[in-house]
Amino acid sequence: AQSVSQHNHHVILSEAASLELGCNYSYGGTVNLFWYVQYPGQHLQLLLKYFSGDPLVKGIKGFEAEFIKSKFSFNLRKPSVQWSDTAEYFCAVNTDTGNQFYFGTGTSLTVIP
């Protein structure tokens, strides 16, 4: 079975700091990669996704992620975080032939004004 690892469980940053959240997956075949965000009290929302092509993908709210196939990684980045980015962030993986997503355990981000 596939697995997804998110190395940072809790991250605390001041506003305007840069963000990078790590995500590694274990699967040797072709994967689709996603980052979801869950704001306090809200449902999971898609932040960005990678299927193929340019490994640097841009999502909503200034987030981007880079797929590095050789490292099995899909790290999330944002140059300057805002207080409103406080949320739980989940990396997820599936395959074109698979029926389910595999999620990481999540990273809780707190941005201090």
Partner 1 sequence: GAGVSQTPSNKVTEKGKYVELRCDPISGHTALYWYRQSLGQGPEFLIYFQGTGAADDSGLPNDRFFAVRPEGSVSTLKIQRTERGDSAVYLCARKQGRGYTFGSGTRLTVV
Per CB under 8 A, residues contacting partner 1 are 4, 6, 32, 34, 36, 42-46, 49, 51, 90, 92, 94, 96, 99-106
**Measured from the CB of residue 80, what is the shortest distance to partner 1 in angstroms?**
26
Of the pair 41, 113, the CB lying nearest partner 1 is at 41
Minimum CB–partner distance for residue 15 and partner 1 (Å): 26
Q: Are 101 and 35 in contact (CB under 8 A)?
A: no
3-class SS of residue 83:
helix
Among residues 17 and 95, whose Cβ is nearest to partner 1? 95
CB 90 → partner 1: shortest distance, Å?
5
CA angle 8, 14, 18 (to 5 degrees): 60
